[in-house]
Amino acid sequence: MLSLLSRTHTPSSSRHSPEDSPTEPTMPTIDHHISHQTRRRRIVVAMTGATGAILGIKALIALRRLNIETHLVMSKWAEATIKYETDYHPSNVKALADHVHNINDMAAPIASGSFKADGMIVVPCSMKTLAAIHSGFCDDLISRTADVMLKERRKLVLVARETPLSDIHLRNMLEVSRAGAIIFPPVPAYYIRAASVDDLVNQSVGRMLDLFDLDTGDFERWEGWQTEK
């Protein structure tokens, strides 16, 4: 036993020649400017059952063209409105987005403030969804994600579709605006002298995305009175 103990070395008593010493690993020098990976910008697009489904569709098309990563949430009534108002099928609209989340999936990544998103646009936004956002009653993924945008101080644009507006609608709009949201009624710009409804839609979508500092290039901007030559 004593002979065994005499041959046991503690770390402090171990002796190695310089050749035997293990080389300590060198920590690589990290250039944070080079190693930092820039991600694509991310925008959540929510579509509710309010009229104006083409606005949400055109927004998705524009964002896809601008190489923005999109996360789409669509309500049951949004799907019904798409089929009623447009020639698109909900499956075609979903194919325009990078990621599609079920409205009842409260465990989706976008439901958490830790998920990095650059903002959210609810287009079109029904008065029911507006009321849910105002009250903080997050019973589906659209209202929950909007709530996240407000608490994390991220951009939230609500393309409110209703007319005329009651006191209840106006109060809800005022309160969510005070909380940090932007209310964007898609009011047509008559000064562009649109040749079609499509021109008006493109102008509204372009102005919506201006709020995210994105230029669709799909509409004519106001440049002052043009004098005829």
Which residues are annotated binding-site positions? 49-51, 75, 126-129, 161, 191, 207
The Cα-based distances of 95 to 38, 48, 53, 72, 211 in angstroms read 25, 17, 15, 10, 24
**Which sign does the torsion angle of CA 72, 75, 79, 82 carry?**
negative
* Binding-site annotation: residue ranges for dimethylallyl phosphate: 191, 207
Torsion of the alpha carbons at 66, 69, 75 and 79, rounded to the nearest 10 = 50
CA 101 to chain centre: 12
Helix axes 197-210, 53-65, angle to 10 degrees: 60
Question: Binding site residues for FMN, as ranges?
Answer: 49-51, 75, 126-129, 161
| Six-digit token string for 32 | 């944070």
165 sits in which H/E element = none
Give the chain's length: 229
- Which tokens go with 75? 């309500």
The dihedral sign for the CA sequence 174, 180, 184, 189: positive
- How far is CA 104 from each of CA 5, 78, 83, 91, 166, rounded to the nearest angstrom? 67, 14, 21, 18, 29
